[in-house]
Amino acid sequence: MSVSRSVGGEGGCLVRGVTAGSAPADEPGMIAAVLAALALSSATGGPVLAVSPAAGCTQAPTRDQLVAATAWACTISAAEQVALPGDTVSVAAGVYPPARIAASGTESAPIAVSAVPGTVTIDAGQTPNGLGIIGVHDVDISGLDVTGGSAQAVWVGSSQRISLSRIQ
């Protein structure tokens, strides 16, 4: 199932996706992430925070490291939690652990979480959700495949102005 819709309000929204396959996380994946990040920075005008499971990634990068491109985050959550309104979290091909969206944007400057070309999979395994979007606002998420999840692949609750597109 593919989802392309905005969700909001106080209730929750369930999205169930089933996909298979993943791309290996390697140096070419990081190169693709950097090239995509450069393209995105000119399109959005805000900083791009790179995420890649490639060797050399940082488990807990600072915002300054990500903005200066002196490091890249190993997980979507690690980059997203230091994002500010107007930032883009650019996710390189690979398989990632479950993620929780923790930062909010503004109506005029949402936080974007976007997959770069290639397969990006969040593997929830037996955890309840692969992607949790709870208590945040003004976040645009696109291009992620979410597999597994004992309850649902994606959970949106108590959030406003959340846009999901190209989520499988």
Global model pTM greater than 0.85: no
Q: pLDDT by residue (tens digit) across 111-131?
A: 999 996 568 999 999 999 999
Q: List, in sequence order, every residue forming a beta bridge with 6; answer none if it has no partner.
A: 163
pLDDT at residue 26, as a whole number: 43
Structure tokens that stand for 90 in this block: 């650019």
Which position has the token pair 């959700």? 129
1 C-beta neighbours (distance < 10 Å), count: 10
Contact 66, 155 (CB under 8 A): no
Give the mean model confidence (pLDDT) for residues 120-145. Answer: 96
pLDDT at residue 103, as a whole number: 97
Name the 3-class secondary structure at 20.
Answer: coil
